[in-house]
Structure 1
Amino acid sequence: MKMKLLGLLFGVVLVLAACGGGGDDAAEPVGEDTGGGDTATVNAEKIYRQNCGSCHGQDLSGGVGPALTAIGSTYSQEEIESIIEEGKGIMRGKIIVGPDAVAVAEWLAEKK
């Protein structure tokens, strides 16, 4: 019984550690050019991959967190911004903040 509890505890810690994002310094500023494509879209995608991809999948297909491939069909940009700000379920809030959060929410809202 103790081994099962210890294993469960270890699994929870591992999942929570994987979902934690870097700080504000982990993402590049939205306005910075990364070479090719719409700058805001490229940066929003990069910010997403750095901060959200470990739980929601690098390709939005899901994992620990739900798939986001059609999230724009369910939530508006403002609702997505609110989820990023406040968190939802096991997702903690403020993983991304400021203009980066707005850019990612706008990018995700286009996924329909």
Structure 2
Amino acid sequence: MNKKLLALLMGASMVMAACGGGGDKDSASEVNPEKLYNQKCSGCHGGDLKGGTGPDLSKIGAALSKDEIQKIIEEGKGGMPSGLYKGEEASKVAEWLAEKK
């Protein structure tokens, strides 16, 4: 039983580490979408947006609108968990990704 619990906790901590920590703002009012991406998204989608365990996002703006990208960030899709970012942070990351064409 203890080994199963330990394995569960280790697995959960690996997922948490891959998805990153809390949001980060450069100043009190300015959100840096690239920094946010690097914190919670690059572990699966790659630092260069070329993909990994998650799909390639280097040209995601050619396939999806900002609103569609934001919905995926907030609600998740497939193996991507929901709630990585919400509100302004999700909007800024989605806007930044929508420019990738």
Question: Shared topology, TM-score over 0.5?
Answer: yes
- TM-score per shorter chain, which class? 0.7 to 0.9
What count of residue pairs does the alignment treat as equivalent? 90
- Counterpart of 1:36 in structure 2 is none
Q: 1:27 aligns with which of 3, 9, 23?
A: 23
Q: 1:92 aligns with which of 78, 81, 86?
A: 81
Question: How many angstroms apart in 2 are the aligned matches of 1:80 and 1:21?
Answer: 19
CA deviation string 1:61-107 (max 9, x = no partner) = 10010010000011000000000011010001111112111000000
TM-score (norm 1): 0.70
The answer for unaligned runs of 5 or more in structure 1 is 1-8, 34-38
Question: How many angstroms apart in 2 are the aligned matches of 1:21 and 1:54?
Answer: 8
Instruction: Find out whether 1:44 has 2:39 as its counterpart.
Output: no
The answer for unaligned runs of 5 or more in structure 2 is 1-6
Question: How many angstroms apart in 2 are the aligned matches of 1:27 and 1:58?
Answer: 17
Task: Name the % identity.
Answer: 48
Question: How many angstroms apart in 2 are the aligned matches of 1:67 and 1:97?
Answer: 22
